Structure 1
Amino acid sequence: MSKETTTRPMGRRGHGPMGGGRPVVKAKDFSGTMKKLIRFMKPYYPVIILAVLFAAVGQILAILGPKILGKATTELAEGFMRIVYNTGTIDFDYILKIILILVGMYIISGILSYIMSIMMATITQKTAYKLRKDISEKIDRMPFKYFDSTSHGDVLSRITNDVDTLQMSMSQSLSQIVTSVVSIIGYPIMMLTISWQMTLMALCIVPLSLLMVSQVVKRSQKYFKRQQQYLSDVNGHVEEMYSGHIVMKAFNGEERSVEEFNEHNDHLYETAWKSQFLSGLMMPITQFVGNLGYVGVCLLGGWLAAAGSVTIGDIQAFIQYVRSFNQPISQLAQVMNMLQSTAAAAERVFEFLEEEEQLPETENPVEVFDENGNTQIKGQVTFENVHFGYTDDKIIINDFSMYIKPGKKIAIVGPTGAGKTTIVKLLMRFYELNSGAIYIDGIKTTDMRRSDLRALFGMVLQDAWLFNGTIMENLRYGRLDATDEEVMRAADAAYVDHFIRTLDHGYDTVINEESSNISQGQKQLLTIARAFLADPKILILDEATSSVDTRTEVLIQKGMEKLMENRTSFVIAHRLSTIRDADLILVMKDGDIVEAGNHEELMKADGFYTKLYNSQFEEE
C-alpha cells in the first residue's frame, strides 16, 4: 500500500538534523521538568544510589590523599633536619608505609570511579533508549491532526537532537554533581583540619570569583540566545536551499541565496564570537582570582610554619587543596548550565509524550479476520449523517450520507478544497468524525481495530511512495509474508514485470532514498503492484497519471482497471474524462455532496458537474 502524504506547514527553523554545538537553552519550567525526569528514571533508582555512593567514596579517598601525602613530606623535611643536626635519620619505612597506603587509596578510588562511570553510562543510555522507544510508540498513537500542524523536522528533532542532548548532558552532569558537591564540602573540612587561618584566607577569594563569573555569564547569555536564533536561521536557509535547489537554480536564485546565507552567517559569526569570547573569560578569571588566593595562602603558611603552628607537609597539602578548590566550583557552574540544557531538551520530549493521543481502541472489537488472515468482508460502505471538520469551528463535511454496494466504482470529484481527500481519510479512520458513523458491511468502523480496518484498504496515491531498498522489498511491503513468486505475479498483473526484468539487477535493483533512479510512471506502476499483492477489499485511488507520458498513462490506467475488478473502489478524480465509466460519481463542493449519479445522468442535469467537465474539455 502506498503511504498517505499530507501537506504540513513549515515549523520553526533550526530543528532539523543540522544543528551543531548548541548553546545553553533554558527550560520554561526547570523544576517541574526535572521532577518529571527524576520520576521517569525511577526504575534505575537503586543503580543511581549505588553509583552515587561509589562516586562519593572514591572522591573522599581522593580528597584524603594530599593530607596523608603531607605526612610523608613532613617526615622527609624533619628527617633531613635530623641528618643536618646529627640527631637521627629519615624513617624510610614510615614513608614507604604512607606511599603504599596512598597507592591503595588511589587504586580503590580509581576502581570505584571506573565502576561509577560504567553505571552512569548504562543509566543514561537506558534512559535515552526508553525515551526514544516511548516517542516511537507515541507517534503510532498520535492523531493525524498533530502531524498536520507540526513539521516533520520538529518531531525528528525531539527524537534525535533533544534525546541526544539529554543523554550527553546527563552522562556528564550526574557524576560531576556528586564529585563536585563532595569536593566542595570535603576540601574546606580538610583545610580546617590544617589551619583555620589559612582556610579563611582561601575562602575569601570564593565570593570574588563567583561575583566576577556571574557578571560574565550575565553578559554572555544574551549572545548565546542570539547565537541559537541565528544558527536556526542558517540551518533553515541551508535546508530550504538544498531541498528546493532545482527551483532555486531554475529561477536563477543562486546569487540571492548566497547573499541571504552570508547575511545569516555574518550574524551568527558576530554573536558566536562574542558569546565564545565571554564564556572563554571564565576560566582565566577564576584562575587569576585563584592565584591571588594561592599567593596569600603561601605567605600566611610560611609565617605560620616559621611560628611552628603548621608543618611543611601540612602547607604542601593545603596548597594542593587550594589549587583544587576552584575546580569543583567551576565544574558545578558548568553542570548547572548542562542541567539547563537537560531540562530544555527533556521539556520538549515530555511535551511530545504528553500530547493528546487518538481515541483508544474499542474494548471488544469486532473480529473481521480469522486466524488465517481471511475475511468475509465484501466491501459494502455506508456513510450515515457524517459531519467532520479539521477544527471544531470549521466543519467541511456536512451531513454526508451515502450507501455504496460492494464492487462498485465510486468517483469523487470537485474543486480543490472541496473535501475529496478528506472522505478517504475518514474511511480509513485517520481522523475521528465530529458526528455520524461509517459502516463497512454493516460494521461500524469504530467497532473495529484500526489495524484491521486499514488492512481492508489498498491505496495508490498521486504522490507514489517508495523507500530505500530493493524493488522486491518495496513490493513486499504490501504483504510482508508474500513469497517471491507472489510478488512477481502481482508485478505482472500491474504491467510492471517487463520493466523490472529489463533492469540490470531485476527485482534486486535498489531504489535510492529519493526514488530518483526510476521514473514517476514506473513508481506508480510499482505502487499498483504493491496494492495487487495486498489484495484489499476496498481501494482508494488518487489520480496517478497527471505527471506521466501518454504511453505510461495507458499502462497505469490498464493496471488500475485490472486492480479495481470486483473491488469497491474510491477514485479521487482530477481528470474527469477518466471516470466516465464510474458506477457513481459524487460531486463535492465546500464539503457537501451537491450532485450524485453516473456520467450521463450528471451531464443531463446540466449542473455543477457539467460545468467542471466542460471547463476541462475546453482546456484540453
Structure 2
Amino acid sequence: MSACSKYFEFYPVLFPLAIVFVLFNATISSIPAIFMQNVIAIIEGSWQTGDWNAVEGKILSFVAILVTLYVLSIISGIAFNQLMAIITQGTLKKFRVKMFAKMQTLPIKYVDTHNHGDIMSVYTNDIDTLRQMISQSFPQLLMSGIAVLTVFSIMVYFCLWLTFVVLIGVIAMFFVTKRVGGGSARYFIKQQKTLGRMEGFVEEMMNGQKVIKVFCHENESKADFDRINEDLFDDARKANRYANILAPILNNIGNVLYVFVAITGGILLVADVPNLSVSGLAMGISIVVPFLNMTKQFVGNINQVSQQINAVVMGLAGAQRIYELIDEESERDEGYVTLVNVREENGQLVECEKRTGIWAWKHPHSSDGSVTYTKLTGDVRLFNVDFEYEPEKPVLHDISLYAKPGQKVAFVGATGAGKTTITNLLNRFYDIADGKIRYDGINITKIKKSDLRRAIGIVLQDTNLFTGTVMDNIRYGKLDATDEECIAAAKLAGADDFIRRLPDGYRTMLTENGANLSQGQRQLISIARVAVADPPVMILDEATSSIDTRTEAIVQRGMDALMEGRTVFVIAHRLSTVKNADVIIVLDHGRIIERGNHEELIAQKGQYYQLYTGAFELE
C-alpha cells in the first residue's frame, strides 16, 4: 500500500485540503510571468502610439490583482504549514501506534530472530526519514512539480520556438538526473539499512558492557564497531556524493539554457520571425523578457524536484521498513476454549463474572452448540512431542511425560538438551511439529493463547523489571490485585523484608530493569509477581540461580509454600534443588533418557547418578 493512500486513510479531509493549498501556491508562483508580459506589452504599445494616459491605471490594476493574489498565497501558505504540522505528527503518531500494537501480536520467534537495535531503528531513524518526507520533501516535490507544469504551459502559450529550446535542456537534465540520481537513491537505501545494523550493534554492546570489560574486549569491540561504521560511512559518502554532484550540474545546465533562450529570443526578434504560439501573440520584447524569467523559474523548480527525489527515496526506504514490521504475520491463535470464573452449584460448575478463586475451561462444541466446563486443576501431559526451531534440525524427539495436579516435575540435562524448549512449548511460544500437549485433558491448540498463559506462571532465569514502583512490578502479574495481595505475595516469596528497607518501601521507583537492586532482589520481585497471579501451573527456569545460598534458603521456603497444591515444572542446574521433585526427567539431545524420583534415579546409577555424584559435570 502506498504512503499517499495511508495519508488519505489517516486524514481523508485535511490531506486533500492541504493539497489544494499547495496547488494554489504553486500556481500563484507562476503568474508573475503573465503579469510581466501584460505590463511590458502595455508599455510597449504606449511607446509605439505615444498614448501614456491609461498606462498608470492599467499597471496599478495589475499590481492590485497581483498583491491580492500574493496575500491569498501567504494565507494559504500559513494554513498549509499548520495543516502539515497536524498531518505529519498525527501520521507518525498513528504509525508508531500501529507498529507497537503489531509488536504485541508478533510471536516470540520474531523477537528471537531479529536484532533488537535494528527494530528500535525502525521506531527512530525510519520514522524520522518518513517525517522529513511528509513534512518537507513531499510538499516541496509537489509544489515544484506543479510549478514546472504551470510554467511549461505558460511557455507553450507564449512561444513554441523558445519552448522547444527549453525542452532540449529538460531532456539533458532528465538524463543527468536518471544517471546520477539513480545511484544516489540506491546508496541512500543501503545507508538506511546499515544505520539500523549499527544501532543494533551499539545496543548489543551497551547490554554486554560488563562482559566486555571483564574479558578486556574493548579493543575488539571498537574494531567491530569501526567496521560497521566504515560501511555506513561508505554508503553515506556514495549517496551524498551522487546527490551533491547533481545540483551543480543541473544549475549549470540551467545557466547554459538561460543563455541559449536569450540568444534564440534575440535572433527571433532581429530576424522578425513570426511567433508560433497558442496565444497568437506577436513576437516581441514582451514575450522574450518574461520567457527568460520563466526559464530561470522552470530550471529552479526542476532542480528542486531532483533534490527532493533523494529525500523521498530515503523516506520511502524508511516507510518500507515500517511496513515490513506492520505487515509481519501476527501470532496465530485458533483457540476457542477460554478460562472463566465459576462457582459450584449442586455439583455443577456455573460461570459467573465475580472472581471466585475457582476457574474452569469453557469449551464450546460446534457440533451441537453445547458448552462444557472443565475445572482448572493443572494436569499437564505431553504425548510423543517432536519439535524443531528450523527445518531438518530437530530439538525434541518423542517427548512423553505427565504432571498430575500438585506434582513437581524437574528437568535435568546439559545445555541444549531441550529443557527450556519444553517450557516454551507449554506456553505456546512455539508450536510443536508433531504430537499433542493437553492441559486438563484439553489439547492446548484449542485453548486461546492468552487464557493458556494466564493459567501458567513462569519465573525466568533472566529477570525483567519495568519502570515503575516495586508495587507496580509485583502487580504486573495481576493488574487488579490489591496492595494487600501484592504484599502477601512478596512475603510468600521472601521479598517483603528487603522491600520495606528500601528508601520508599513498596513505592520505591525502579528504572533501568531495577539497576538499583541486586540480582537476587530483582529475582525475588519476579517471584512475587508470579505469586500474586496465583496460577495453578508454574514454571521455574533456574529461578534461584542468581540468589546467594542464605537468600536461597529464604526463597525456597516461600517457593515451597507457593508450590503447595500446584503443578510445577522446574529447570535446574543445581541438582540439590530438585531432590524433592516427584519426578525428575533427564534429557540428552532432546530425548528423555531417564525418569523417576531422586532415590530411584540414584539406585539406577545412570547419568543422573553420575551428575549428582560429580562423576561428570552437568554442563
By the TM > 0.5 criterion, same fold? yes
Number of the residue aligned with 2:525: 526
* AA partner of residue 291 (structure 2): F
Give distance in 1, aligned partners of 2:201 and 2:327: 31
Number of the residue aligned with 2:27: 60
Give distance in 2, aligned partners of 1:274 and 1:383: 57
* AA partner of residue 71 (structure 2): I
* AA partner of residue 597 (structure 1): G
Q: Residue 114 and residue 141 in structure 1: after superposition, are their counterparts in 2 closer, same or farther (change >3 A)? A: same
* AA partner of residue 476 (structure 1): R
Q: Residue 159 and residue 618 in structure 1: after superposition, are their counterparts in 2 closer, same or farther (change >3 A)? A: closer
Q: Is the 8 A contact 1:71 1:314 kept in 2?
A: no
**Match of 2:410, SS?**
strand
Give distance in 1, aligned partners of 2:453 and 2:122: 28
Alignment of 1:298-309 (within 5 A): 298-301=262-265, 309=282
Number of the residue aligned with 1:357: 330
Number of the residue aligned with 1:32: none
1:597 has 2:596 as partner: yes
Deviation digits for residues 113-151 of structure 1 (CA, Å, limit 9, x no counterpart): 444455555555554444433333333333323333222
Q: Is the 8 A contact 1:169 1:339 kept in 2?
A: yes
Q: Residue 52 and residue 305 in structure 1: after superposition, are their counterparts in 2 closer, same or farther (change >3 A)? A: same
* AA partner of residue 456 (structure 2): F
Q: Alpha-carbon deviation of 1:595?
A: 2.0
**Match of 1:541, SS?**
strand
**Match of 1:204, SS?**
helix
Deviation digits for residues 212-231 of structure 1 (CA, Å, limit 9, x no counterpart): 44454466568667766875
Q: Alpha-carbon deviation of 1:268?
A: 5.5
Give distance in 2, aligned partners of 1:435 and 1:233: 36
Give distance in 2, aligned partners of 1:58 and 1:619: 75
Number of the residue aligned with 2:9: 43
Give distance in 1, aligned partners of 2:89 and 2:497: 49
Give distance in 2, aligned partners of 1:124 and 1:171: 6
1:330 has 2:313 as partner: no
Q: Alpha-carbon deviation of 1:382?
A: 2.3
Q: Residue 385 and residue 166 in structure 1: after superposition, are their counterparts in 2 closer, same or farther (change >3 A)? A: same
Q: Is the 8 A contact 2:132 2:311 kept in 1?
A: no
Give distance in 1, aligned partners of 2:498 and 2:22: 65
Q: Residue 476 and residue 219 in structure 1: after superposition, are their counterparts in 2 closer, same or farther (change >3 A)? A: closer
Deviation digits for residues 5-53 of structure 1 (CA, Å, limit 9, x no counterpart): xxxxxxxxxxxxxxxxxxxxxxxxxxxxxx5545655635854555444
Q: Is the 8 A contact 2:147 2:301 kept in 1?
A: yes
Give distance in 2, aligned partners of 1:215 and 1:286: 12
Q: Is the 8 A contact 1:470 1:508 kept in 2?
A: yes
1:132 has 2:99 as partner: no
**Match of 2:399, SS?**
strand
Q: After the TM superposition, which of the residue ranges 471-480 and 382-391 deviates more from structure 2? A: 382-391
Give distance in 2, aligned partners of 1:493 and 1:264: 49
Q: Is the 8 A contact 1:409 1:570 kept in 2?
A: yes
**Pairing partner for 2:292 from 289, 297, 319:** 319
**Match of 1:396, SS?**
strand
Deviation digits for residues 77-99 of structure 1 (CA, Å, limit 9, x no counterpart): 766x59xx985457333222111
Give distance in 1, aligned partners of 2:72 and 2:189: 43
Q: After the TM superposition, which of the residue ranges 577-586 and 41-50 deviates more from structure 2? A: 41-50
**Match of 2:385, SS?**
strand
**Match of 2:594, SS?**
strand
Number of the residue aligned with 2:367: none
Q: Is the 8 A contact 1:457 1:539 kept in 2?
A: yes
Q: Residue 227 and residue 529 in structure 1: after superposition, are their counterparts in 2 closer, same or farther (change >3 A)? A: closer
Alignment of 1:364-379 (within 5 A): 365=338, 367=340, 370-373=352-355, 374-376=357-359, 377-379=376-378
Q: Is the 8 A contact 2:11 2:87 kept in 1?
A: no
Q: Is the 8 A contact 1:524 1:556 kept in 2?
A: no
Give distance in 1, aligned partners of 2:77 and 2:185: 33
Number of the residue aligned with 1:345: 318
Give distance in 1, aligned partners of 2:135 and 2:567: 56
Q: Alpha-carbon deviation of 1:558?
A: 2.4
Give distance in 1, aligned partners of 2:486 and 2:337: 35
Q: Residue 537 and residue 233 in structure 1: after superposition, are their counterparts in 2 closer, same or farther (change >3 A)? A: closer
Number of the residue aligned with 1:246: 210
Give distance in 2, aligned partners of 1:44 and 1:245: 42
Give distance in 1, aligned partners of 2:231 and 2:585: 55
Q: Alpha-carbon deviation of 1:256?
A: 4.7
Deviation digits for residues 297-340 of structure 1 (CA, Å, limit 9, x no counterpart): 33444566678855555444322211110122223323433443
Q: After the TM superposition, which of the residue ranges 584-593 and 88-97 deviates more from structure 2? A: 88-97
More strand by proportion, 1 or 2?
2
Q: Alpha-carbon deviation of 1:604?
A: 0.9
Number of the residue aligned with 1:485: 484
Q: Residue 334 and residue 470 in structure 1: after superposition, are their counterparts in 2 closer, same or farther (change >3 A)? A: same
Deviation digits for residues 195-234 of structure 1 (CA, Å, limit 9, x no counterpart): 3333333333223333444454466568667766875676
Provide structure 1 residue ranges, at least 5 long, that are not aligned to the other structure.
1-34
Q: Is the 8 A contact 1:528 1:559 kept in 2?
A: no
Q: Is the 8 A contact 1:69 1:102 kept in 2?
A: no
* AA partner of residue 433 (structure 1): I
Q: Is the 8 A contact 2:243 2:310 kept in 1?
A: no
1:471 has 2:470 as partner: yes
Q: After the TM superposition, which of the residue ranges 519-528 and 297-306 deviates more from structure 2? A: 297-306
Q: Residue 572 and residue 273 in structure 1: after superposition, are their counterparts in 2 closer, same or farther (change >3 A)? A: closer
Give distance in 2, aligned partners of 1:367 and 1:239: 42
Deviation digits for residues 58-80 of structure 1 (CA, Å, limit 9, x no counterpart): 3223312331244345546766x
Deviation digits for residues 344-380 of structure 1 (CA, Å, limit 9, x no counterpart): 3333333334444333333464646642344332222
Provide structure 2 residue ranges, at least 5 long, that are not aligned to the other structure.
273-281, 343-351, 360-375
Percent identity reads 40
1:282 has 2:246 as partner: yes
Q: Alpha-carbon deviation of 1:462?
A: 1.4
Q: Alpha-carbon deviation of 1:580?
A: 0.8
* AA partner of residue 137 (structure 1): A
* AA partner of residue 438 (structure 1): I
* AA partner of residue 523 (structure 1): R
Give distance in 2, aligned partners of 1:114 and 1:607: 82
Q: After the TM superposition, which of the residue ranges 435-444 and 282-291 deviates more from structure 2? A: 435-444
Q: Residue 535 and residue 586 in structure 1: after superposition, are their counterparts in 2 closer, same or farther (change >3 A)? A: same
Q: Residue 138 and residue 600 in structure 1: after superposition, are their counterparts in 2 closer, same or farther (change >3 A)? A: same
* AA partner of residue 276 (structure 1): N
Number of the residue aligned with 2:420: 421
Number of the residue aligned with 1:503: 502
**Match of 2:31, SS?**
helix
Number of the residue aligned with 1:7: none
Give distance in 1, aligned partners of 2:566 and 2:231: 60
Q: Alpha-carbon deviation of 1:252?
A: 3.3
